[in-house]
Structures are given as structure tokens and as C-alpha cells.
Amino acid sequence: MEKRKISIIGVPSDYGQHRRGVDMGPSAIRYADVSERLESLGYHVKDEGDILVKKEIKNSQSNTNLENLNEVLEVCTQLSIKIEEVLDQGRFPLILGGDHSIAIGTLAGLTKKYTNLGVIWYDAHADLNTPDTSPSGNIHGMPLAVGMGLGDERLVQLGGLGAKIKPENIIIIGARSVDPGERNLIKEKGIRVYTMHEIDRLGMTRVIENSIAYLKERQVDGVHLSLDLDALDPLYTPGVGTPVPGGITYRESHLAMELLEEEQMITSAEFVEVNPILDERNKTADTAVALMGSLFGEKLV
């Protein structure tokens, strides 16, 4: 893909969870000058605007325990179609969330092009719950499971594709809050996970180098980076809905982005869960944009 062309797609949806405010994430990231930052690096940036998200009373019932299933389906369907359009134009999709349920639409759109997609899930959570294992019914805790073809059939079949990604093509980085059902699924499917324990022991350099080598062995034809800002320690990203102490540092995250950029293997990315209501002077959105800078080649010298 010609990486000099980037399309920004905003998804102002908070339907995947309970806390209000994350729907303003795309606006906060734009306010932090994401377009200007990337243009200064020599990219042609086209802001595609936002996916239309109806602001209605939440939790329409759909014969399920899943919160706001109909609304999530509508948002993700629109996003899937938009990503497909962007890919057809030879542009790099950069998606701004919104809660992490939007990744269901992202993966559906990407796998219209990529048949053996690799996924780097940079997150404090595994997001591998299903309706049977979820403690809350919040869909933002399920997108990776849905991507593997597990969960509510309406979500799994979004885009008419069924499973979008293979368990062996997934790498989770930064996990430190994993539910029992998710742990069982990780063991059952053999999903590669670098928890904070591994990051502390190995260091971020080895984690990323090992991840790159692992995905190359699987001969993936694209790699999607799905970055939840709660992967970082709340010290650096206070404006997230589900903060978990003991996370990845600001500098470690920049190093991870820099190493991925050097390898030139990331073909799409999304940055999610920025909640300006919970933030401190737009600190979390500023961090997201700074990390995007590193991912797209920003250097100190």
C-alpha cells in the first residue's frame, strides 16, 4: 500500500460500553492536531469525516444480553463499508474511536482486502469475551472474539464473512486485566499474549521484535494495529473509561511504534477509547497523536 496517503475516519460511538464521553474521542484527537502532525511528516492526509452515529436513547433490545447490539451493528456496518472504500483508493485507513467495539467493523472492512490478516492488539484487556463469558454485556470487551468468529452471530456475520482473523495471527500486547473466560480462550486457541509481566522481563524491544518475526512466519498479507489508550498506564492516559494501573509507559509505547514503523509492516491502524470527559487538558488525545507521529515515522533528529 502507498503509505504516503492516509485517510482518517472518525467513529464517534460510545455504544459498546456504559460510560459517556468516548464518542467525543475523534474530536479530541482532531483538536490535538492529528492531521497537521501527519502532514508535517510528508503524508497526504484526507479527513473522511465521521461515520454517522445516531444519538438515540441507548440499549435497544434485540433478544440478547448484549448492550446496544443494534446500534453497534449499524455503526460497524457503516465503518466496514467506509474502510473498504478507502482501501480501494489505495489509502492507509487510520480510524479514530470511539470505544473498542468499533474494531468489529474495522476488521470486517479490512478482510475484504486481506485474506491472512495479522493483528497487533495493544490493550490492557484481551477483549475476548463472548455473551456467555462477559461479566457486563458490553460489546467493547468482545471485538477480538467476534473477529475470530465467536459470539453473537449477527456480529460475527457482519459483512457476510464469518470469522475475519485466525487466532494464530493475533498478538496481544500490554494485557493486565483478563477475565476467566478470556484466559480459557487464550489457552484453548493458543493466542500469543505479552502481558505486563513479559514486557517487564523481556523489554519492549524484544516484545516487538518477537512479534514482527512471529507474524512474518505466518506470512500475513497485512497487519492491523488496534491501540486502546488504556494499554498505557493511567499516569499517561487518564482519559480512558477502563483504566488499569501498572501499564505500559509513554516511552515504551513510542519505542513500540518506532520499531513497527521501521519494519514498514503496519497496513492499517485504529486508536480508541479516548474519553475527553475523564481527561486532563486533552492529555490522552495528545498522547494518541504523539504515538501516531512515531508510528508514521517521526524522529527526534
| CA proximity to 140, closest of 17, 240, 22 | 17
Active-site position among 23, 74, 252, 273: 273
Active-site position among 14, 71, 123, 252: 123
Q: Is 33 a catalytic residue?
A: no
Q: Is 286 a catalytic residue?
A: no
Active-site position among 14, 71, 152, 228: 228
Is 123 among the annotated ligand-binding positions? Answer: yes
Active-site position among 23, 71, 100, 252: 100
Q: Is 230 a catalytic residue?
A: yes
Q: Is 88 a catalytic residue?
A: no
Active-site position among 125, 252, 286, 298: 125
Is 200 among the annotated ligand-binding positions? Answer: no
Is 230 among the annotated ligand-binding positions? Answer: yes
Is 228 among the annotated ligand-binding positions? Answer: yes
Q: Is 221 a catalytic residue?
A: no
Q: Is 125 a catalytic residue?
A: yes
Is 14 among the annotated ligand-binding positions? Answer: no
Q: Is 123 a catalytic residue?
A: yes
Q: Is 132 a catalytic residue?
A: no
Active-site position among 14, 99, 230, 252: 230
Active-site position among 50, 99, 140, 182: 140
- Which residues are documented as binding site for Mn(2+)? 100, 123, 125, 127, 228, 230
Name the residues annotated as catalytic.
Answer: 100, 123, 125, 127, 140, 228, 230, 273
Q: Which residues are annotated as a binding site?
A: 100, 123, 125, 127, 228, 230
